[in-house]
């Protein structure tokens, strides 16, 4: 169960509890202006937002309103990005965070894990807890797996490796929220989650499909998207009684591609080709929501 973040947001004179479905609690706080939030500044993410504000994708990401320095939850001085609060225009919203892409770590993180690949007992334990058949005979015998092996395997227990996205968290209008989707893997399981998420809000489904199609069309012509490897970024789905919308969020692991490198965002990833599978995820999201609408 997700904890409510300990702050209230004010928008159009209404106060509502802000909800955070991923990341560290301490990374977010209420903004100085109504309708804004503060996220701990990461220079890479800030650069992405600066570029995005001049890109065709601008309508599909939270407005970036600059950075500021203030005290964090430990009383230390810290820098924050000031962002549009995407929940601001909604009343008692339902929220879902889907992390997009066929992998959620950077090539360099995998390379680093490969440097001194020690056998890890803790990772072996985590592995057999989820799937006792996952380790090879050799790994069972050694009671250990290497970190790179674990990293690659972990993406296969959710829908990340196969569908190009996974559910990170859902909060429904009754206040119930869950982050318990680590092994939600099959198309059928996802469809069921989406059905539950939109239950009682049928108007949201066609709105989500339309918006996802607009996002897809815009990604295809975006200079930002052409020049970046988008890892660990999410699509945030928000609806209430009357409205539904989707935005791209979280660019802390989005990197500029090497100058000579071009990726398709649709081809399979093999170590070194930098493919992120972002479009695989967007296409599957459109497909699954379309199937939901036909039911």
Instruction: List residues near Mg ion by CB under 5 A.
Output: 22, 234, 250, 252
Shortest distance, CB of residue 89 to ligand ATP, whole angstroms? 11
- Residue 108 tokens, joined: 């360099």
Least Å distance between CB 19 and ligand ATP? 6
**Which of 290, 210, 281, 288 minimizes the C-alpha distance to 244?**
210
162: part of which helix (H) or strand (E)?
A: helix 160-163
Give the Å distances, CA to CA, from 157 to 130, 137, 234: 8, 19, 18
Nearest to 212 by CA among 125, 139, 132, 281: 281
Query: Under the criterion CB under 6 A, does residue 252 sit at the interface with ligand ATP?
Result: yes
3-state secondary structure 218-235: HHHHCHHHHHEEECCCEE
Q: Which residue's CB is nearer to ligand ATP, number 31 or number 148?
A: 31
Residue span 190-229 as binding mask against ligand ATP, x where in contact by CB under 6 A, dash where not: ----------------------------------------
State the Cα angle at 40 between 37 and 42, rounded to 5°: 125
In the bound state with ligand ATP, the residue whose beta carbon lies nearer, of 95 and 113, is 95
Task: Kindly tell me which residue out of 51, 57, 62, 102 binds ligand ATP, with binding defined by CB under 6 A.
Answer: 62
By beta-carbon proximity to ligand ATP, the closer residue of 147 and 253 is: 253
| Residue 34 in contact with ligand ATP, rule: CB under 6 A | no
Residues 96-125, interacting with ligand ATP (CB under 6 A): 97
- List Cβ neighbours of 78 (8 Å cut-off, separation of 6 or more): 40, 41, 69, 70, 71, 72
Distance CA(39)–CA(30), nearest Å, equals 9
Backbone angles phi, psi at 73, to 5 degrees: -65, -20
Q: Binders of ligand ATP among 78-97, rule CB under 6 A?
A: 83-87, 95, 97
Among 4, 11, 22, 195, binds ligand ATP (CB under 6 A): 22
Binding residue for ligand ATP, selected from 29, 31, 37, 55, defined by CB under 6 A: 37
Residues of this chain that interact with ligand ATP (CB under 6 A) are 19-24, 27, 37, 39, 62, 83-87, 95, 97, 232, 234, 236, 249-250, 252
């Amino acid at each position: 169960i997700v904890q409510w973040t300990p702050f209230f947001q004010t928008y159009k004179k209404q106060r509502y509890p802000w909800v955070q479905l991923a990341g560290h609690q301490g990374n977010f706080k209420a903004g100085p202006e109504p309708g804004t939030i503060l996220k701990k500044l990461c220079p890479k993410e800030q650069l992405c937002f600066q570029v995005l504000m001049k890109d065709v994708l601008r309508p599909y990401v939270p407005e970036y309103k600059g950075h500021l320095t203030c005290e964090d939850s430990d009383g230390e001085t810290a820098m924050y990005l000031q962002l549009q609060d995407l929940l601001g225009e909604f009343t008692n919203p339902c929220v879902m965070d889907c992390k997009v892409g066929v992998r959620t770590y950077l090539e360099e993180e995998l390379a680093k894990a490969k440097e001194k690949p020690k056998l890890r007992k803790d990772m072996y334990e985590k592995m057999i807890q989820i799937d006792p058949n996952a380790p090879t005979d050799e790994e069972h015998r050694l009671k250990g797996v290497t970190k790179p092996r674990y990293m690659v395997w972990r993406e296969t227990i959710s829908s990340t490796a196969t569908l190009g996205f996974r559910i990170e968290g859902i909060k429904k209008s009754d206040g119930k929220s869950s982050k318990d989707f680590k092994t939600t893997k099959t198309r059928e399981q996802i469809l069921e989650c989406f059905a539950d998420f939109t239950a009682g809000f049928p108007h949201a489904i066609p709105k989500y499909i339309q918006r996802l199609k607009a996002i897809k069309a815009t990604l295809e012509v975006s200079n930002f998207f052409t020049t970046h490897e988008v890892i660990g970024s999410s699509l945030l789905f928000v609806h209430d009684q009357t409205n539904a919308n989707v935005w791209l969020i979280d660019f802390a692991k989005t990197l500029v591609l090497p100058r000579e490198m071009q990726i398709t965002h649709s081809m399979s990833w093999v170590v070194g080709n930098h493919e992120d599978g972002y479009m695989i995820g967007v296409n599957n999201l459109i497909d699954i929501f379309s199937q939901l609408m036909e039911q």
